Amino acid sequence: MKNIKLRIVYLILCSALLLFALFMLAVNLIIPAHFVREAKKALISEAQYQNRTIPYTDDGSFFDDGWNDTEEHFLTPSIVFLELDNANQSSGWNRDAYRLEKKLLEYYTGRDLLLNQCYTFKTDKHHLIFMSVQEEQDDWEKPYAYIMYIDIGPITRYIVTLNWAFFAVLLAISSVMCLLGFRFGRDIEKEAERQQTFFQNASHELKTPLMAIQGYAEGIQTGVMDAGSAAEVILEESDRMTELVEELLDISKIDMGRQQLALSEMDVRELLYDGIRAVEPAAAGGIAIVPDFPEEPVMVSCDDTRLRRAVTNILSNGVRYARSELRLTSRADKRHVTIRIQDDGDGIAEADLPHIFDRFYRCDKARGRESGSTGLGLAIAKEIVESHGGNIRCESNGRLTSFVISLPLYKEVRHVFKRNRAGLSEPK
């Protein structure tokens, strides 16, 4: 996945060049050739109308005397008639009218050109399709001769302008797409690096309890360890590995967008008390849990199972690092309920605060492993809270550490989920 942003940019540029090449082919070859064919058709059709003795080009058949109609082409109104005398010179009334016609006559007289055949004559600004015609006159001594031509030069000049306009538009679009592609590729690279780091960390976290289980199992097998104490360690490491696997599965579901919430109306106080009961055994060693909740119910719409887990994860983290007290407060305003979980531990360094919710991140990595932390609990809590339309932040002054959760109240949460309904069920 390295340099994928550059690959995306190259792909966009190559696609743009290919598109421009195809456009140039179509505009500069196909379209002019089409107009040349149409001009020739218009000239032949007009000649057939002026002189019925000219055969069709399709099958060589002749017009009969009763034919008095002509096939109209969209270039027929563009036909210009240039009369000729016997010397193939322009007639007196238009001999000096146009320099273009002078050049055309010079070209015509200098070559042995057949009657009733279409030819091409180009100058810097003009592209003529012309045909010389003679009509036999019964009462005239000499045939009536003239040249018919159509100038498609304005069309070809317009095509050149169109080329530059298309190139400018394509350049602007390609530049924007390259910029977006570069950013998109950079995000992909970051996500790939994050996934790689995730798998490396997961492998490492799984390897630690597995090595412990293997070591103690070998100790039992060889008889160098007491079976009872070794079995106790094996069970502890197994529980730790089971917890880690469950958290990895949760993370996987979150990343794949498969974490669906079954919403129901619930009192926040009930959620918090459930979390307290879940961590009370861990706090039995001298950590006092102090709840401070309002007397009136505070209703939110939530998936109680998942939100309870988020609260429990944060409480477990607080119990793990608190010295003597873990305080819970809940306050509600007109639109939100704010939950604050505060411990009196050693605090969190300012450099660690931006990363506190990163996966597998530990402020004290060694102590984290010793205390059973996987580094995923806070990350999962953050994902769960945000999936409920809320937010979570961490505050620390070096002495106290607080995790602050904000959730929309039940009457407001409906509007939140209307904007994020993918994968969510309606409130019961």
Residues 336-356 pLDDT 10s: 899 999 998 888 888 888 888
The last residue of one of the domains, among 114, 138, 159, is 159
Count of Cβ atoms closer than 10 Å to residue 264 Cβ? 14
Mark whether 14 and 128 lie in a shared domain: yes
Could you give the percent of the chain with pLDDT greater than 90? 6
Domain end point (choices 115, 144, 159): 159
Question: 415 and 269, same structural domain?
Answer: yes
* 244 domain residue, yes or no: no
Give me the domain span that covers residue 98. 4-159
Cβ-Cβ contacts under 8 Å for 181 (sequence gap 6 or more)? 5, 8, 9, 11, 12
For 144-170, the DSSP string reads EEEEEEEE-HHHHHHHHHHHHHHHHHH
Longest dimension (CA), the chain: 135
pLDDT at site 391: 92
Q: Is residue 199 part of a domain?
A: no
- Does the pTM of the predicted model rise above 0.75? no
- Total residues belonging to the chain: 428
Q: Does residue 266 share a domain with residue 139?
A: no
Q: Is 284 exposed, middle or buried (0-12, 13-18, 19+ CB in 10 A)?
A: exposed
Residue 229 falls inside a structural domain: no
406: in domain: yes
Instruction: Tell me if 225 is assigned to some domain.
Output: no
Tell whether 23 and 154 lie within a shared domain. Answer: yes
Distance in angstroms (rounded) separating the CA atoms of residues 191 and 183: 12
Strand order in the sheet with 325-332: 288-292, 325-332, 336-343, 401-408, 391-396
Of 141, 159, 177, which closes a domain? Answer: 159
Q: CATH number of the domain that 346 lies in?
A: 3.30.565.10
Percentage of the chain beyond pLDDT 70 is 79
Residue at 83 is within a domain = yes
What's the distance, Cα to Cα, between the start and end of the chain in Å? 44
Most confident of 56-70, 86-100, 276-290: 276-290
Domain count for the chain, please give it.
Answer: 2
Provide the pLDDT for residue 95.
43
Using alpha carbons, select from 359, 318, 373 the residue that is nearest to residue 342. Answer: 318
Residue 210 resides in a domain:
no
* 170 occurs within a structural domain: no
The verdict on 266 and 154 lying in the same domain is: no
Residue with tokens 């007196």: 92
Residues 151 and 292 in one domain: no
Tokens linked to 124: 């810097």
Given a cut of 80, is residue 206 above it in pLDDT?
A: no
> Helices then strands (H, E): number in the chain?
10, 11
